[in-house]
Amino acid sequence: MDSTAFTDALIRERRTKRAFFLDRPVPQDTVQQILSVARFAPSSSNTQPWRTYVVSGAARERITTAAVDAFRAGPDRLAHEYPFFPDPLHAPYAERFTAFRGQLGDAQGVHRSDKAGRMRDVERQFLFFDAPVGLIFTMCKRLEWASFICYGCFLQNVMLAARARGLDTCPQQIWSLQSAVLRPALGIPDDQMVVAGMSLGYADNSRPENNMQLRKLALDEFATFVDA
């Protein structure tokens, strides 16, 4: 395969996975390789706002248990460190959001009205969907919007480098709701915010939620070519 075909396939084949094999460990050396190449991401004036905590083994167990406990104790008390979406979300994003949530619920076999089932699914987020490695990403709170763009470039690099090694990922901004658990557990300094988490492992592709066909915008729905 030439490098264009390989790169295109890598980008297309990176899909968010939400079920992993807990008993298939990811060697720490592999995680080091992934982060070592991801650090070549572009960033505004080379400011490189990323900081990553790699959580596995007993630390993963401790953090997932504490995060699930915090969620059960009061889902409404989990505080946003930065806004996710405007409320209410408007067209066309609201329709896309609702279509995605419906597809995910159908794949997981959880109906919208099944509150307990939906709670269980959120708990799986805080278990890293059984992935053996969890990544927690933080950024200095004093940085601005531009640094979030840089962070997105870095996160995509992590996900593609993982895929190139036969691994899969779920990027999870939901982990930013768990800063009260993560901050003391990982020693995250007060001037850092939790931007996101990420599940990293070998995906269980027999699961319907790992085989969703999501509609992606066609080229003419988002690109305008101006040539005169």
Residues at the interface with ligand FMN (CB under 6 A): 15-16, 18, 100, 125, 170-174, 196, 214
Q: Which is nearer to ligand FMN, 101 or 165 (CB)?
A: 101
Whole-angstrom Cα distance, residue 96 to residue 99? 5
| Helices 145-164 and 3-13: angle between axes, nearest 10 degrees | 110
Q: How far is the CB of 64 from ligand FMN (least distance, A)?
A: 15
Whole-angstrom Cα distance, residue 192 to residue 138? 6
Give residue 162's identity as a one-letter amino acid code: A
Q: How far is the CB of 43 from ligand FMN (least distance, A)?
A: 16
Report whether 163 contacts 203 (CB < 8 A): no
Q: How far is the CB of 187 from ligand FMN (least distance, A)?
A: 23
Q: Which is nearer to ligand FMN, 193 or 196 (CB)?
A: 196
Q: How far is the CB of 42 from ligand FMN (least distance, A)?
A: 17
Kindly give, in sequence order, each residue whose CB lies less than 8 Å from that of residue 113, ignoring residues fewer than 6 positions away.
none
Q: Which is nearer to ligand FMN, 16 or 138 (CB)?
A: 16
Angle, CA of 122, 125 and 130, to the nearest 5°: 130
Is omega for the bond preceding 83 within 30 degrees of 0, making it cis?
A: no
For 51, the 3-state DSSP assignment is strand
Q: How far is the CB of 17 from ligand FMN (least distance, A)?
A: 8
Q: Which is nearer to ligand FMN, 32 or 72 (CB)?
A: 72
Q: Which is nearer to ligand FMN, 54 or 203 (CB)?
A: 203
Residue with tokens 């990027």: 171
